[in-house]
Structure 1
Amino acid sequence: MSLQQEFRNAMSKLAAAVNIVTTGGDAGTVGITATAVCSVTDSPATLLVCVNRNSASNEIFKKNGRLCINVCASEQQEMSKHFAGMTGLEMSERFKLPGWHLNEHQVPVLRGALTTLEGKISDTTEVGTHTVFFLEVEAIATQDKDALMYFDRQFMELKANVKVSEAA
């Protein structure tokens, strides 16, 4: 087995939140499902998201310069599948599904998401096959709901307010 395949297998064991990353503007309106999203700093509030350079959305993200990270709630699994390209639904049709509205910058924001983080791309860097986008957050909305996670190549629900009990 190649190191690349071993790495992919290892990363499948890294539980991650499911996010739909969107942009809108002069270059177009697109979105992708991503798990490679991480906080960087709280001052200024910044996230990073990694996007494959072969993705058609990559260049549109760069040209528009604005993103919204929509952290999916458990009931948004089907929406996540659409934006992962798992259902064959065309991009323009995905944004016609219930729940989407445009913010003041014409970036799609998903109603009912666990969290939405809207902002501008402050920097990018190319690493291997991916572009790392740094998003400086300008607006945040959160809700208390169950989360949608991706673990071991499967979608899973993480219940809110459930604590792991301590060993005796």
Structure 2
Amino acid sequence: MTDKAIFRAAMAQLGSAVCVIATDGPAGRYGITVSAVTSVSDDPPSLIVCVNRASGANAIIKQNQTLCVNVLSSEQQDISHTFASGQVPADQRFGAGAWTVSALGNPVLKDVAAWFDCRVDRAIEYGTHTVLFCKPAHIAVSETANCLIYHGRAYHRIQSYE
């Protein structure tokens, strides 16, 4: 069995985009910062989002059956902190940043690098997390924003090279 500390240290070397997962619907509105988002397939377009079962967002996302993956821009580190912090109550987090509402009714953060407005297709419990298989109904990509990356337990800004 692999030691948890070694596993976490190795995973810290895997850079990933920082995202705010936001949902709204019958179970209410909720948002959290996650870095466990990845594509599954482009046919059909799909992605996975991993949410800790202990998170308040978990049950709400499962009940709402929709979510928006807001891929933060390199200028939105403060928003990541707000949605990751246990210090900021869930109902006050959306005071950070400017928000609109998607066609599915989910909160969409303005000025992000990209966003995916999704329906949850399947939820699988695995270890401490729920793996949510999501199908995007709407996608938008910024032509100017670079995404915020989390690597080595710190934030990094990605710059485009031409």
Shorter-chain TM-score tier: over 0.9
CA contact (8 A) 2:17 2:148 kept: yes
Partner residue, 2:71: 71
- Cα distance in 1 for partners of 2:36, 2:70 equals 13
Counterpart of 2:75, as a letter, is E
TM-score normalised by the chain length of structure 2? 0.94
What's the CA shift for 1:91?
Answer: 1.6
- Cα distance in 2 for partners of 1:82, 1:8 equals 23
What's the CA shift for 1:103?
Answer: 1.8
- Cα distance in 2 for partners of 1:25, 1:146 equals 30
Deviations 1:131-158 (A, max 9, x none): 0001101100111312200010001101
- Cα distance in 2 for partners of 1:7, 1:150 equals 16
Counterpart of 1:152, as a letter, is G
Partner residue, 2:120: 121
- Cα distance in 2 for partners of 1:151, 1:97 equals 23
Counterpart of 1:39, as a letter, is S
Partner residue, 2:148: 148
Counterpart of 1:129, as a letter, is T
2:75 partner SS: helix
Partner residue, 1:111: 110
Partner residue, 2:80: 80
Deviations 1:45-90 (A, max 9, x none): 100011111111100000000010000100110000101116x222
Partner residue, 1:98: 97
What's the CA shift for 1:118?
Answer: 0.4
Partner residue, 1:32: 32
TM-score normalised by the chain length of structure 1? 0.91
- Cα distance in 2 for partners of 1:158, 1:121 equals 29
Kindly report the root-mean-square deviation, in angstroms, between the aligned alpha carbons of the 2 structures.
1.3
Structure 2 spans left out of the alignment, 5+ residues: none
Counterpart of 1:42, as a letter, is D
- Cα distance in 2 for partners of 1:128, 1:81 equals 25
Q: What is the count of residue pairs matched by the alignment?
A: 160
1:109 partner SS: strand
1:131 partner SS: strand
What's the CA shift for 1:105?
Answer: 2.9
Partner residue, 2:23: 23
